[in-house]
Amino acid sequence: MRVGEWVAIPSVSTGFARPVQEDSPHLSEFPEGITLKQDFARWRVTQTTIEDKDIYVVQSVPQAGQTPVSLYFDEESGLLVRLLRFTDTAAGRVPTQIDFSDYRAVQGTKLPFKITTTWTDGQSTIELADVQTNVAIDSARFRQPPPAAPFK
């Protein structure tokens, strides 16, 4: 990947546990629901810095009716550090920024243990203490609870 270069994403996945592009050390993994290859045909690579780290910015080139997406990858580790997406609303285009940090290895896959989502009027942070994969969960935990007692 070179700065200013147009790139095509030949292999895309939709989960943290699978690589976005198997042959690229600079493209990492990212969250469920992003379908890059299906949604965007062209990408542009630029560079920036975030918190004194060199960052590759992979920016979508939106077609008619699409809103842009920018993916920020740590140049050294290749890990996704930020996702910036936009949503068209009646009030105009609204940005949502998702920052990924505190990556730790979980069964051979690096996962972000801190995820901060910022939007125009707020912010939420998810901080994980522990992640376990393929843990058995008792099906009773998914049963519908009994009806609430009537309000008196």
- At 77-117, the pLDDT tens digits run 999 999 999 888 898 889 999 999 999 999 989 999 999 99
Domain locations along the chain: 6-142
| Its pTM surpasses 0.85 | no
Dist. CA 63–CA 60, nearest whole Å: 9
Cα dihedral sign, 44-46-50-55 = positive
| pLDDT at residue 33 is higher than 50 | yes
CATH code linked to domain 6-142 = 2.50.20.10
pLDDT, tens digit, 9 for 90 and up, residues 117-144: 999 999 999 999 999 988 999 999 899 9
Question: Which positions ≥6 away from 17 have C-beta within 8 Å?
Answer: 29, 109, 133
